[in-house]
């Protein structure tokens, strides 16, 4: 969803990154381009303006412009302010269930926004992950098949639904649902209210009546991110009239421009709690402002990576290793150190998940080659070698390989695979070492 914005911001910020010194004018110029990129992504004008003002005020501060890496600092400020705009890294976006059972969650939104689907997704997750007993009820008496649709989704998701009684009005159904959930010992009751194509007074009056009858603990507005600013307007109106405690933003898997996600929180003051990422029942994600900001800047979860690396990497060792890599002296001892480091950073999955530009497919491909068990065996192989063999793998002939296989409880084939991987890594390291601003310097801050 953020591809365009990511591209635009990437262009602007990479111009800053390489600079040794920045002037106020450089910052202003960059900010003008950032502002244009935000507006093109359909971010609300006042939100874009306030964002730029905040970034600018911090970026032209004395410490930043005079620092050794002003470009990097500005990028960090943009990142931090994006996180703020999205609601802050510490924001509690969980759905609160701290109330007397049955806790009522009322789902509201326009027709077609993904309300019924999201209701079932949330119910399914609370059932399987949180081990709660959930009942769902559809209050949509306008659309003939709406109640039936929720029942079918409930059957698919393994979640109970309130039996359908023909001819009842929304408020009656809501009251019956609360009673049924109480008698049935359910922890949570989810009410899927009716939607309309547009907001109208009829709809608002109906939803307000249901709210008063059912007294919901959470009111979640479901909004379609593809509708951009309209989604934000809808959220504002629902919040003003009904009171909304959280937003579920759907279709973020689509090719929307991101404006809804970016300005929703700032305009409405209501936190985005969940993202709908597909049609399937498990296509639901918790909203994390820092993750999304990282995605927008195309940096993966850079901040976590930098923090994690700082926790686990001994700076001295890292510098020495970076130096050796630049010279193309990456031997098997270095490789063993890298494998151990990877273990400390949560294995392959931990590292890959944090790297910029590593998508799901690449991650799966890499994991197929290198799961964590394989990584452990590779460590065992290397420690069965003599010092000379580790320094200079070329001496490894057939009889030496057999000895190592016996020593490490592996096969010669596996040793050959490891040697091939080492050669590939050595080549890659050499190439990365030469490349300024490449992965190595990102990791080691060089």
Looking at 79, 251, 257, 401, which residue binds ligand GDP (CB under 6 A)? 251
Sole binder of ligand GDP in the list 70, 195, 216, 347 (CB under 6 A): 195
Q: Is 109 annotated as a binding residue?
A: yes
Asked if residue 256 binds ligand GDP (CB under 6 A), the reply is no
Under the binding rule (CB under 6 A), the answer on residue 116 touching ligand GDP is yes
Across the beta sheet with 160-161, the strand order is 160-161, 134-138, 188-192, 103-109, 218-224, 246-250, 272-276, 284-286
What is the radius of gyration, based on Cα positions, of the chain? 27
Which H or E run contains 58? helix 45-59
Is 124 labelled a binding residue? no
158 among annotated binding-site residues: no
**For 164, which DSSP code?**
P
Chain centroid, CA 93 distance in Å? 13
Q: Name which of residues 71 to 110 contact ligand GDP (CB under 6 A).
A: 109
Secondary structure letter of residue 360 according to DSSP: H
Residue from the set 35, 56, 58, 115 that interacts with ligand GDP by CB under 6 A: 115
165 is in an annotated binding site: no
Backbone angles phi, psi at 195, to 5 degrees: -115, 175
Give 397-429 as a DSSP string.
-HHHHHHHHHHHT--HHHHHHHHHHHHHHHHHH
Q: Does 111 bind ligand GDP (CB under 6 A)?
A: yes
Query: For ligand GDP, what does the binding mask look like between residues 260 and 299, x meaning CB under 6 A?
Result: ----------------xxxx---x----------------
Cβ 401 vs Cβ 416: under 8 Å:
yes
Residue 117 is a binding residue for ligand GDP (CB under 6 A): yes
Chain position carrying tokens 């008698």:
183
Q: Does 343 sit near ligand GDP (CB under 6 A)?
A: no
Regarding 125 and contact with ligand GDP (CB under 6 A), the answer is no
Query: Of how many residues is the chain composed?
Result: 446
Q: Is 112 annotated as a binding residue?
A: yes
Q: Is 124 in the site for ligand GDP (CB under 6 A)?
A: no
Please name the residue that has the structure tokens 């009716």. 194
Distances (CA, A) of 259 to 19, 39, 71, 151, 161: 30, 8, 25, 34, 35
Residue 195 is assigned to a ligand binding site: yes
Give SS3 for 87. Answer: coil
**Does the footprint of ligand GDP cover residue 253 (CB under 6 A)?**
yes
x/- site string to ligand GDP, residues 147 to 166, per CB under 6 A? --------------------
**Residue 250 found at the interface with ligand GDP (CB under 6 A):** yes
Q: Binding-site residues for GTP, please?
A: 109-116, 192-196, 250-253
Instruction: Cite the annotated binding site by residue number.
Output: 109-116, 192-196, 250-253
Q: Which residues make up the interface to ligand GDP (CB under 6 A)?
A: 109, 111-117, 195, 250-251, 253-254, 276-279, 283
């Amino acid at each position: 969803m953020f591809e365009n914005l990511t591209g635009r911001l990437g262009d602007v910020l990479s111009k800053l990154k390489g600079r040794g010194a920045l002037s106020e004018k450089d910052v202003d110029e960059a900010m003008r381009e950032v502002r244009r990129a935000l507006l093109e992504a359909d971010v609300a004008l006042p939100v874009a303006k306030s964002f730029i003002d905040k970034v600018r005020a911090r970026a032209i501060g004395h410490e930043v412009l005079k620092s050794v890496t002003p470009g990097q600092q500005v990028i960090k400020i943009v990142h931090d302010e994006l996180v703020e705009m999205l609601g802050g890294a510490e924001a509690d976006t969980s759905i609160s269930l701290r109330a007397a059972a049955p806790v009522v969650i009322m789902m509201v939104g326009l027709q077609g926004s993904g309300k019924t689907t999201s209701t079932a997704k949330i119910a399914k997750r609370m059932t399987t992950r949180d081990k709660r007993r959930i009942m769902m009820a559809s209050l949509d008496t306008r659309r003939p098949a709406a109640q039936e649709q929720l029942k079918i989704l409930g059957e698919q998701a393994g979640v109970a639904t309130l039996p359908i009684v023909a001819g009842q009005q929304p408020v009656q159904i809501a009251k019956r649902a609360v009673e049924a959930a109480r008698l049935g010992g359910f922890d949570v009751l989810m009410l899927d209210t009716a939607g309309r194509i547009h907001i109208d007074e009829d709809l608002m009056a109906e939803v307000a009546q249901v709210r008063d009858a059912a007294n919901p603990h959470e009111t979640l507005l479901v909004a379609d991110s593809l509708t951009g600013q309209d989604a934000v307007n809808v959220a504002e109106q629902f919040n003003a009239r009904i009171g909304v405690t959280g937003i579920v933003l759907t279709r973020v898997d689509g090719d929307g421009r991101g404006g809804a996600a970016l300005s929703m929180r700032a305009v409405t003051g209501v936190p985005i709690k969940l993202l709908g990422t597909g049609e399937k029942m498990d296509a639901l994600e918790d909203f994390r402002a820092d993750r999304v900001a990282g995605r927008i800047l195309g940096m993966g979860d850079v901040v976590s990576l930098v923090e994690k690396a700082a926790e686990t990497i001994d700076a001295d060792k890292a510098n020495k290793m970076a130096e050796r890599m630049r010279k193309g002296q990456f031997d098997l001892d270095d490789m063993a150190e890298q494998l151990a480091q990877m273990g400390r950073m949560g294995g392959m999955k931990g590292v890959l998940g944090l790297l910029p530009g590593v998508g799901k497919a690449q991650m799966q491909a890499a994991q197929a080659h290198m799961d964590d068990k394989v990584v452990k065996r590779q460590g065992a192989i290397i420690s069965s070698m003599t010092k000379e063999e580790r320094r200079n793998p070329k001496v490894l002939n057939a009889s030496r390989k057999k000895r190592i296989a016996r020593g490490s409880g592996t096969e010669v084939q596996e040793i050959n695979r490891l040697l091939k991987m080492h050669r590939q890594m050595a080549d890659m390291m050499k190439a990365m070492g030469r490349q300024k601003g490449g992965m190595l310097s990102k990791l080691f801050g060089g």
